[in-house]
Structure 1
Amino acid sequence: MDEGVLISAPGKVILHGEHAVVHGKVALAVGLNLRTFIKVLHTRDNAVLLNLPSIGSKLTWNVGQLQPLLPSFKGGHEPVSPRSEQLDLLRKFAGFSEGSQDTESQAVLAFLYLYLSICGQWTETELKLINSWAFQGEKVIHGNPSGVDNAVATLGGALQFQAGQITPMKRVPMLQILLTNTRVPRSTKILVAGVKDKLLKYPSIIEPVLSSIHAISQECQRILEASSAALSIDQFKVLEELIDINQHHLNVIGVGHPSLDKLCQVTASHGLHSKLTGAGGGGCAITLLRPDVDHSVVEAVKQQLVDCGYQCWETSIGAPGVTLHSSLSLPEDIINAFSNV
């Protein structure tokens, strides 16, 4: 094998606008500096190897096995949505049961769909093309995705999302946060349906709450784009107030959870401000870290959250998008992780 290429893309969190965005309001999605890395290598044994160490999956196919599948995936140079018959063909080929939704099967199906669809067609590396193909992979996994995840992973930074339109923000300061996983599973579909039911039942109550969340997103965007230098402490305090207000609104529309309440209590006891990110009902939350917060405070918060049974990462938002790396630009732990792949 040669040394190949190493590429990464950021994760994503919603800063403001969860659930309200489903009803035409503004949401802000930001790149998260917890990155997914992929190493692409040429092989000499006429094989396609897929190694996904984070989910314990390692598969190999001979190119000859994949060749008969190619005619079903040639659709021209532009990205195309996966058809149900194509996904059924891939499930049968990979030995997955019909309707399988586990992480490994979804990841493998997305890889095979993109590999077979792109194979022999990639003539440019423009971000638009990467984003378009990534969106098709999202469709394999989620069926009818919004396009936010793949757009943030491709473009990085921060994006405004409203009514299907995605617009990069003009300025994106790198803000330090804690990302905390409560480890409480939830169904996005059920939570979205619950908000819709509340809106239909109490339109004069819930619509103003969604409009307020919309206004929070707009005010947050105004602050982030307003300054050409680092944000002031006063601006950070406004961002903290917006976080608190939005978290209360999200509880009002029914997507809170006791695990998230506990998380907010823990961080508030140390003078920090948190809100859920994404669907709610458990899942993850973000905590804004002002630059004047002592690191010992951050460490104490992290330990207390871990003691609650949560997972906690200190990271940043506003991260760059898809990136081609040289070995010189990578931290040693990342180099070591790929040294034996």
Structure 2
Amino acid sequence: MWARELAVSAPGKVILHGEHAVVLLGKVALAVALDLRTFLRLRPGAEGRLSVALPGVGVRRSWDTPGLRALRGRITGKGRAVEPLPRGTDFDESKPPSVEQLDALREFAGIAAGASAPESLATLAFLYMCLAISAKYGDVPSLDILVWSELPTGAGLGSSAAYAVCLAAALLMVCGAISCPLREGESTARWTEEELALINSWAFRGEQVIHGNPSGVDNAVGTWGRVPTLRILLTNTKVPRSTKVLVAGVKEKILKFPAIMNPVLDSIDAISQECQSVLEAMPANPSPEHYPVLEEFFDINQHHLNVLGVGHPSLDRLCQVTASHCLHSKLTGAGGGGCGITLLPPDTSPQAVEAAKQDLCACGFECWETKIGAPGVTLHSCSSLSAQVLHALARS
């Protein structure tokens, strides 16, 4: 039985360059870790109970572990339903979730077929990962799990992947598939490369439960993180959008005007590769002279994305507002609303940043000053978490 109270965190992500080009033509996508994180606190639970609380999406569920073992036995068809299954069942990190498995989980959790609300998908992913990981590595654990996030949901910032990465790390650790690297007296620790690869594999399966056919970029960023560190403004226009619809629209344009649209996607790919080269050449603490070329990449790519048809008046407004403060912005993710990012060179004055934030908020947007470039999945002692995180977890 698990006997420690610990926390796991994973970062969100932003796409600097390569939106849509990566999905449709397999081009380079330059994804970086965002220094806004999801936190998962795990505690020993009441014997025979597994509980999860996701207050951000309104989920509070609890199940008895014998019932979960019975469900696992019915899904795999192995062992008696009331007993723990042997190691090495049908669940495997190399296999995607099957339709039959997910249908059985929906029936058990009372989730309607086709339900796509965040609370339904988060619950479904939790049940799948818990049963799959425990089936391969150990018994269904008695745990009390609480998840809180600094990331808004549905904004293209990798919130579901950060959740899946935290969940994979916690369950794999509790079931003994990976170590607990945090020693007494330490505040944080990370896993070995081999263990991170296993975390990433299971997190990808969780992403498949939620998204169906994800690229794997988001969970990889959440697992390993990305550098260097750049200051940004992250702005959520609060305009909802459908990634599926936007991708379909770009695909239609490519089919209709291939001689026009394919060169645009090739140019986006070239920007991604050139930007990656620039970032690799930058020191850990870049100076102002490194930024002009990054700002030009932002401007060019934003125009390309508008040509693809994934812009939106809210994103145009965001770019206009920040340009009035001599700052450069672009959309990140699918477009059609959602989020935009604004580079903040080191010589940007605090007054200019605050003025830009006030003007963006006056448009009805939500704005954060944060960083790109952050460590991947990390294990924490609960006492080492910031006062903000501790307060949020306690309040949840």
TM-score between the two structures when normalised by the length of structure 2 = 0.79
Partner of 1:192: 247
Partner SS, residue 44 of structure 2: coil
1:276 lines up with 2:331 in the alignment = yes
1:81 lines up with 2:150 in the alignment = no
CA–CA distance in 1 between the matches of 2:229 and 2:10?
A: 16
Partner of 2:154: none
Corresponding letter in the other structure for 1:51: A
Partner SS, residue 98 of structure 1: coil
Identity of aligned residues (%): 60
Partner of 2:134: 119
Corresponding letter in the other structure for 1:303: Q
1:175 lines up with 2:230 in the alignment = yes
Would the alpha carbon gap of residues 3 and 307 (structure 1) be closer, same or farther in structure 2, given more than 3 Å must change?
farther
Corresponding letter in the other structure for 1:75: D
Partner SS, residue 174 of structure 1: strand
- Mapping for residues 11-50 of structure 1, pairs under 5 Å: 11-22=12-23, 23-50=25-52
Higher deviation after alignment, 274-283 or 120-129? 120-129
CA–CA distance in 2 between the matches of 1:109 and 1:59?
A: 11
CA–CA distance in 2 between the matches of 1:84 and 1:267?
A: 46
CA–CA distance in 2 between the matches of 1:55 and 1:280?
A: 23
CA–CA distance in 2 between the matches of 1:77 and 1:113?
A: 11
Alpha-carbon contact 2:6-2:42 (below 8 Å) kept: yes
Quote how far apart the aligned CAs of 1:339 are. Answer: 3.6
CA–CA distance in 1 between the matches of 2:375 and 2:356?
A: 27
- Mapping for residues 98-177 of structure 1, pairs under 5 Å: 98-119=113-134, 121=137, 122=175, 123-125=177-179, 126-157=195-226, 172-177=227-232
Alpha-carbon contact 2:229-2:285 (below 8 Å) kept: no
1:170-220: CA deviations, max 9, x gaps? Answer: xx2211111111111111111111111211222221111111111111111
Partner SS, residue 280 of structure 1: coil
CA–CA distance in 1 between the matches of 2:117 and 2:224?
A: 28
Partner of 2:362: 307
Partner of 2:110: 95
Partner SS, residue 256 of structure 1: coil
Runs of 4+ residues over 6 Å off in structure 1: none
Quote how far apart the aligned CAs of 1:328 are. Answer: 4.8
Partner of 1:165: none
CA–CA distance in 2 between the matches of 1:78 and 1:34?
A: 27
CA–CA distance in 1 between the matches of 2:393 and 2:246?
A: 38
Corresponding letter in the other structure for 1:239: L
1:285 lines up with 2:286 in the alignment = no
Gaps of 5+ in 1: 158-171
Higher deviation after alignment, 265-274 or 292-301? 292-301
1:24-48: CA deviations, max 9, x gaps? Answer: 2211001111100001111133211
Higher deviation after alignment, 263-272 or 124-133? 124-133
1:297 lines up with 2:352 in the alignment = yes
Corresponding letter in the other structure for 2:126: F
CA–CA distance in 2 between the matches of 1:215 and 1:329?
A: 42
Quote how far apart the aligned CAs of 1:2 are. Answer: 5.6
Aligned residues: 327
Higher deviation after alignment, 323-332 or 73-82? 73-82
Quote how far apart the aligned CAs of 1:340 are. Answer: 6.1
Partner of 1:210: 265
Alpha-carbon contact 2:32-2:373 (below 8 Å) kept: yes
Corresponding letter in the other structure for 1:118: I
CA–CA distance in 1 between the matches of 2:274 and 2:268?
A: 10
1:236 lines up with 2:291 in the alignment = yes
Quote how far apart the aligned CAs of 1:229 are. Answer: 4.8
CA–CA distance in 1 between the matches of 2:62 and 2:383?
A: 30
Partner of 1:166: none
CA–CA distance in 1 between the matches of 2:206 and 2:34?
A: 20
Partner of 1:164: none
CA–CA distance in 1 between the matches of 2:40 and 2:319?
A: 34
1:59-107: CA deviations, max 9, x gaps? Answer: 1111122121122253266443111111111111111111111110000
Gaps of 5+ in 2: 77-88, 138-174, 180-194
CA–CA distance in 1 between the matches of 2:283 and 2:219?
A: 28
Cα RMSD of the aligned pairs, angstroms, is 1.6
CA–CA distance in 2 between the matches of 1:225 and 1:104?
A: 39
CA–CA distance in 2 between the matches of 1:66 and 1:149?
A: 29
CA–CA distance in 2 between the matches of 1:111 and 1:297?
A: 43
